[in-house]
Amino acid sequence: MSTPNTPSAAPVPRVPMISTADALATLLAAAQPLTETETLSTFDALNRVLADEVVSPLDVPPMNTSAMDGYAVRVADLAQGGRRLPVSQRIPAGHAPQPLAAGTAARIFTGASVPPGADAVVMQEQTESADGEVTILHNPKAGEWITAQGADIKKDSVILPVGTRLSPAALGLAASVGCATLTVARRVKVAVFFTGDELTMPGEPLKPGAIYNSNRFTLTGLLRNLGCEVTDYGIVPDRLDVTRQTLRDAAATHDLILTSGGVSVGEEDHVKPAVEAEGRIDMWQIAMKPGKPLAFGAVRRPQGTTAGASASGEAFFIGLPGNPVSSFVTFLLFVRPFLLRLAGVAHVSPRALSLRADFSQNKADRRNEFLRARINQAGGLDLFSNQSSAVLTSTVWGDGIIDNPPNHAISAGETVRFIPFTELLY
């Protein structure tokens, strides 16, 4: 029985929620780009981040070239009434031409160098040829079907700036100016581990109360898609001493430690106290659904163990929620841009589309909602029927997420902001 004069315990104050924009801004402000670089063959630089700008040492194309199979001519010769011209030379691509003699035409092929003196190319469909001569059936203008020297790239121009993530097209562009090697930022080194005695790996018997560890596969796959060098420490037992040792080991040679689950205040949630003991941590309540809880901080490196990682005295730490969809969405919205900024990518914001909602959601939420949806045959958006943070099916069924602002109900036919997964997974 309680004593009437005994004061009741003071309620634990609720942590205020922060906006998704403020959370992302804080993360990006902390993510200073890595300074270590390496030089790779252009063949091997796919998806790496350029650390030195690429300046073209030449014009592209390096000479005037023909855009068609046909005949190179002098416009002045045709203006004087000459329609039937002797063919003085044949110019395949890759062969140096001779100057075009006045009153003659040169047989030329696509990509071949236009001979000095010629100022137009007449496509072969507008000619008739026989017995070493060609009849021109068209009145060309100067420059017709000629790609001018430097039309694509001017010598000494910057064609790929620092911070470019090297796509296949970017590699081709670098190769077009003769770049055999490229200087890129080194890969971001990420350590990842998972806590929870209930976690079981696929292929193992599923004991009562246990679940299969889907987040391990999702998060390591996302990290590899981003080109990170990943060390997977697997499932760490729910013990404070083991968790602290894993953090120390991971901090020694990695730029970021990423975890999923275990950052709440329960008696079996040891990640938060372990990070506090080994470094620092901020617990955030983000005004978003799914994915409200997120932890951000850092773990001290053991002295003298920065080899292979940044020169900083600590490794960053991000703790994601344990529910699979929450973990997936918070990775896409926060961890992805953080890692890209660490790698030196200049522009990390995904591009969004404005699309029509072909559904209604009458109940507004006070948080910023990220709804799994896909594009239908009519070009509108269908909503997955179950938006629970535990329903991983929605992430495979969907084409992306609707970024729905707080306190906003969606009416069928209105335009919403849609971020495709293609903008978020790589």
Work out the average pLDDT over 240-254.
95
**DSSP state letter for 183:** E
Domain, as residue range, for 235: 17-36+187-343
On whether both 139 and 229 belong to a single domain, the answer is no
**pLDDT at res. 304:** 66
User: How sure is the predictor about 312, in pLDDT bands with cuts at 50, 70 and 90?
Assistant: confident
**Digit-coded pLDDT (tens) for 117-138:** 999 999 999 999 999 999 999 9
- Residue 161 within any structural domain of the chain: yes
Q: 332 and 285: one domain?
A: yes
**Shared-domain flag, residues 263 and 325:** yes
pLDDT band at 140 (very low <50, low <70, confident <90, very high): very high
Six-digit token pair at 382?
A: 């269908």
Tell whether 288 and 308 lie within a shared domain: yes
User: SS3 for the chain, per residue?
Assistant: CCCCCCCCCCCCCCCCEECHHHHHHHHHHHCCCCCCEEEEEHHHCCCCEECCCEECCCCECCCCEECCCEEEECHHHHHCCCCEEEEEEEECCCCCCCCCCCCCEEEECCCCECCCCCCEEEEHHHEEEECCEEEECCCCCCCCCEECCCCCECCCCEEECCCCECCHHHHHHHHHCCCCEEEEECCCEEEEEEECCCEECCCCCCCCCCEECHHHHHHHHHHHHCCCEEEEEEEECCCHHHHHHHHHHHHHHCCEEEEECCCCCCCCCCHHHHHHHHEEEEEEEECEECCCEEEEEEEECCCCCCCCCCCCCEEEEEEECCCHHHHHHHHHHHHHHHHHHHHCCCCCCCCCEEEEECCCECCCCCCEEEEEEEECCCCCEEECCCCCCCCCHHHHHCCEEEEECCCCCECCCCEEEEEEHHHCCC
Least confident of 137-146, 204-213, 401-410: 204-213
* Per-residue confidence band for 424, with pLDDT thresholds at 50, 70 and 90: very high
Query: Distance between CA 106 and CA 115 in Å, rounded?
Result: 8
In a domain? residue 12:
no
For residue 56, the model assigns a pLDDT of 98
Residue 298 and residue 388 in one domain: no
Indicate if 69 and 54 belong to the same structural domain.
no
Average pLDDT over residues 363-388: 97
- Are 113 and 91 in contact by the 8 Å Cβ rule? The answer is yes
CATH number assigned to the domain comprising residue 369: 2.40.340.10
Q: Within its chain, how far is the Cα of 346 from the centroid?
A: 11
Kindly state the percentage of the chain with pLDDT values over 70.
93
Q: Is the dihedral of CA 315, 321, 323, 326 positive or negative?
A: negative
pLDDT of residue 207: 86
Res 8: pLDDT:
52
The mean per-residue pLDDT over the stretch 77-106 comes to 93
Per-residue pLDDT tens digits for 177-208: 999 999 999 999 999 999 877 888 888 888 88
Neighbours of 349 (CB within 10 A): 11
Report the CATH number at residue 43: 3.90.105.10
Contact 373, 379 (CB under 8 A): no
pLDDT band of residue 252 (cuts 50, 70, 90) is very high
Give yes or no: residues 140 and 192 share one domain: no
How wide is the angle at C-alpha 131 spanned by C-alphas 133 and 138, nearest 5°?
Answer: 35
Domain termination residue (choose one: 95, 122, 147) = 147
pLDDT computed for residue 270 by the predictor = 83
Residue that is last in its domain, among 288, 309, 343: 343
Q: Residue 205's pLDDT is what?
A: 87
Q: What is the pLDDT of residue 318?
A: 97
- The answer to whether residue 413 sits within a structural domain is yes
The answer to whether position 400 is within a domain reads yes
Residue 273 included in any domain = yes
Q: Do 306 and 257 lie in a common domain?
A: yes
Would residue 4 count as lying in a domain?
no
Q: Are 260 and 224 a contacting pair, CB within 8 Å?
A: no
- The pTM assigned to this predicted structure is 0.88
- Residue 306 binned pLDDT confidence (cut-offs 50, 70, 90): low
**Distance, CA of 307 to CA of 386 (rounded, Å):** 46
Considering the domain boundaries, does residue 130 fall inside one?
Answer: yes
Which residue, 242, 311, 234, 313, is CA-closest to 279? 313
For 132-145, what is the mean pLDDT? 96
Same domain flag for 122 and 246:
no
pLDDT at residue 426 is higher than 80? yes
The whole-angstrom distance between residue 330's C-alpha and the CA centroid of its chain comes to 16
What is the pLDDT at residue 275? 95
Quickly list DSSP for 81-105. T--EEEEEEEE-TTSPPPPPPTT-E
Whichever domain contains 303, its CATH number is 3.40.980.10
Question: How high is the mean pLDDT of the chain?
Answer: 92
Tokens linked to 343: 């790698």
pLDDT of residue 5: 53
Q: How many CA atoms lie within 13 A of 302 on its CB side?
A: 11
Backbone dihedral angles phi then psi of residue 338, each to the nearest 5 degrees: -60, -45
Q: How far apart are CA 221 and CA 378, in angstroms?
A: 32
Pairing of strands 381-383, 293-300: unpaired
What pLDDT, in 10s, does the model give residues 20-74? 999 999 999 999 999 999 999 999 999 999 999 999 999 999 999 999 999 999 9
pLDDT value of position 2 = 44
Same domain, yes or no: 221 and 303? yes
Q: How confident is the model at residue 302 (pLDDT cuts 50, 70, 90)?
A: confident
Residue ending a domain, among 321, 343, 365, is: 343
CATH of the domain at 93: 2.170.190.11
Checking if the pLDDT of 261 tops 90, the result is no
- The whole-number pLDDT of residue 336 equals 98
- Asked if the structure places residue 101 within a domain, the reply is yes
How confident is residue 1, by pLDDT bands cut at 50, 70 and 90? Answer: very low
* 125 and 160 together in one domain: no
The tally of domains found in the chain comes to 4
In tens, the pLDDT along 5-23 reads 545 555 555 668 999 999 9
Do 309 and 419 sit in the same domain of this protein? Answer: no
